[in-house]
Amino acid sequence: MDSRRTLRLVHLISTIWFMLCTGHASILAMRQAGFNWLVISSLSGYWALLVTLAVSFYLFSIFRGAGKGLSMQKEHPLTSTAYYMTFYVSAPFLGALAGVLAIMGETRVGPLLASISLGTIGATFLTWVVVDPAAGSLELLTPQARKHRAERLARAHLRKQQEQTNREQLLAQILEEERENERLWRHSLASQADRLATLIAANGADLIGAEQEAIRIGVEAWRMGGLICMRQLHDMAIDAFKRQYTQRQLVDYFSAWWDGIGNWRMPVAS
């Protein structure tokens, strides 16, 4: 087990210990305020859930940030050392030890546990909330830390710009490929579009044969380029019908005939 994994394990155990001491101190305070055990037990479940969720998010952020902390030793020459991290994760236990020493000679269990809980809470709060942020802020004031931070932010900015450029290039390539496909399809589907325009102009008994042929053309368009190709062929057929049959009313039969071919779905009537 490497040092980082050991620190994570100790930090997890110390956090659980801190939660237990916080719960003990809260129960003790409610008992001193006159609450009975029924009220305390009813409230403890909700508080335990909230504290568990909060600590889980806290531990998740700590574990996710542990790997990044190793690459920021120049920015944090003190707080990134093994000695400081050991002190940081051991703060609840140091507070418990201070609580024992503060009431040395006490033989009663109740006052001893209360002193341990308060010592744990006080030392943890002082270390995690006051000392650690203050030490981290002071480290960033050194010239070397400011220089390294500026370089890191510049690299991150450059990397973000490169990723944005790559995305734009990829998008431009995709759009160019789509435009090229549309040009190819427009050339190869011109005859099918004219034929579809003739088919939707059919009426009466001719509609059965027209539907079968339109379905065959739709399947070929799907195999050629999927839904995009079918939509382009549909639009081309509508334009061809309007050019060829200026006096006829348009009835978009094959929009329904193609229902179920690939991803094509018949428009729902409003």
Give pLDDT, residue 255.
Answer: 77
Give pLDDT, residue 46.
Answer: 54
- Give the CA angle between residues 44, 34, 124 to the nearest 5°: 50
Give pLDDT, residue 160.
Answer: 92
Nearest to 200 by CA among 247, 249, 246, 243: 249
Spatial distance between the Cα atoms of 84 and 89, rounded to a whole number of angstroms? 9
132 within 8 A of 90, measured Cβ to Cβ = no
Give pLDDT, residue 42.
Answer: 58
Residue 171's Cβ-count burial label (10 Å; 0-12, 13-18, 19+) is exposed
Q: Which helix (H) or strand (E) holds 25?
A: helix 3-32
Helix ranges (DSSP H) in 131-262: 132-139, 143-188, 190-200, 206-244, 253-257
Q: For the chain, how many residues are written?
A: 270
DSSP 40-103: HHHHHHHHHHHHHHHHHHHHHHHHHHHHHHHTTTTT-TTTTSHHHHHHHHTHHHHHHHHHHHHT
Q: How far apart are the first and last CA of the chain?
A: 66
Q: Is the whole model's pTM more than 0.85, yes or no?
A: no
185 within 8 A of 225, measured Cβ to Cβ = yes
Write out the chain's pLDDT in tens, 270 residues.
Answer: 577 778 888 888 888 888 888 877 877 777 777 766 565 565 555 566 566 656 655 554 454 444 445 456 667 777 778 888 888 888 899 999 998 888 887 778 888 888 888 899 899 888 888 888 888 888 777 777 777 777 878 888 899 999 999 999 999 888 888 788 778 888 888 888 888 888 888 765 577 788 888 889 889 888 888 888 888 889 888 888 888 888 788 888 877 888 888 878 876 554
Give pLDDT, residue 66.
Answer: 46
Task: Check the CA dihedral 60-61-62-68 and report its sign.
Answer: positive
Spatial distance between the Cα atoms of 33 and 107, rounded to a whole number of angstroms? 25
Spatial distance between the Cα atoms of 242 and 250, rounded to a whole number of angstroms? 8
Give pLDDT, residue 164.
Answer: 92
Give pLDDT, residue 10.
Answer: 84
